[in-house]
Amino acid sequence: MDAIAVRTKGLPLSHDLQSGEILLDTRGVTVRFGGHVALDDVSISVRAGTVTGLIGPNGAGKTTLFDTVTGAGRPAAGTVHLAGHDITRLAPHRRARLGMARTFQRLELFVSLTVRQNLLVAADIAGRRSGRRIPSVDEMLELTGLADIADDDVADVPTGRARIVEVARALMSGPRVLLLDEPASGQTEEETARFADLLRQLAAGGLAICLVEHDLPLVMGLCSTVHVLDYGKVIASGPPEQVGADPAVIAAYIGTDHTPGTAATDGDVPDTAREAG
């Protein structure tokens, strides 16, 4: 496929990427917490220019997989690859420098700073890290639809939009791979629709996006591939329509209470963003 420069409304969001190229993959990743196997031989992949879904019931291991991929935790077995390179033993900051960015299920923003200041901090860190041109804060506020609340304290921003602030902050580093942990949780329907448009636009620019979400219509509408985790195992991988019709997936997840708007997410979501650490 053609090389595509990741440019979204003129933003140098990333490097030149091959659309469709596997940018991130895990190979046989196993993670244990004491005797508990949180991830069991997990192999998934995320391609440039696509949104890949990662779904499954509470406690299935989705956040643990993000932690392992970003270097917050080490697997007991298996490897993590970025653009084919084994990064399993790299420190988190080195993975970030190579173009990996994430958001957190429990928001980790600086609540005493404004939206703009949160992005400025991220820009400062990203600029010092890489030396490459990063998006301007004003461009990012515009792209993500946050310009009207740029000077509001994050503490005063409702959860739904605070999640977009976290996405914007992650994008300030000009990532190649973006990992989103329940980004639509706390968003209104209208916010989610706008957010879906943003993700489509980012993917069209070449970004590889991995989306953990309990909002199944969002996942099914956006993703080209969906991986389903249950008790730490991948029980299905494929196009959304195939995965959605899979009896094992229906039994483990779709047919249970773990559907949008149920206890699956509601208990986890803070009313407002909370400070990092």
Ligand X SMILES: Nc1ncnc2c1ncn2[C@@H]1O[C@H](COP(=O)(O)OP(=O)(O)OP(=O)(O)O)[C@@H](O)[C@H]1O
CB under 5 to 8 A by kind: which of ligand X, Mg ion, none does 206 bind? none
CB under 5 to 8 A by kind: which of ligand X, Mg ion, none does 162 bind? none
Which residue's CB is nearer to ligand X, number 58 or number 79? 58
Reading the block at residue 12, the tokens are: 């140098």
Q: Which residues contact 263 (CB under 8 A, 6 or more apart)?
A: 257
CB under 5 to 8 A by kind: which of ligand X, Mg ion, none does 156 bind? none
Reading the block at residue 42, the tokens are: 């997990």
Reading the block at residue 68, the tokens are: 């392992």
Beta strands in the chain (DSSP E): 3-8, 11-18, 22-33, 36-47, 50-55, 77-82, 85-86, 100-102, 177-181, 208-212, 225-230, 233-238
x/- letters, 46..85, toward ligand X (CB under 6 A): ----------x-xxxxxxx---------------------
Residue 103 touching ligand X (CB under 6 A) = no
Answer whether 18's CB lies under 8 Å from 3's CB.
yes
Which residue's CB is nearer to Mg ion, number 38 or number 126? 38
x/- letters, 96..135, toward Mg ion (CB under 5 A): ---------x------------------------------
Binding to ligand X in span 126-185, by CB under 6 A: none
CB under 5 to 8 A by kind: which of Mg ion, ligand X, none does 179 bind? none
CB under 5 to 8 A by kind: which of ligand X, Mg ion, none does 58 bind? ligand X
* Selected binder of Mg ion within 8, 63, 173, 192 (CB under 5 A): 63
State how far the Cα of 45 lies from the Cα of 126, in Å rounded to an integer: 25
Nearest-CA neighbor of 168 among 191, 152, 182, 147?
147
17 residue type, one letter: L
Strands 22-33 and 77-82: antiparallel
Which residue's CB is nearer to Mg ion, number 105 or number 159? 105
The residues of the shown chain that bind ligand X, judged by CB under 6 A, are 33, 36, 38, 56, 58-64, 105
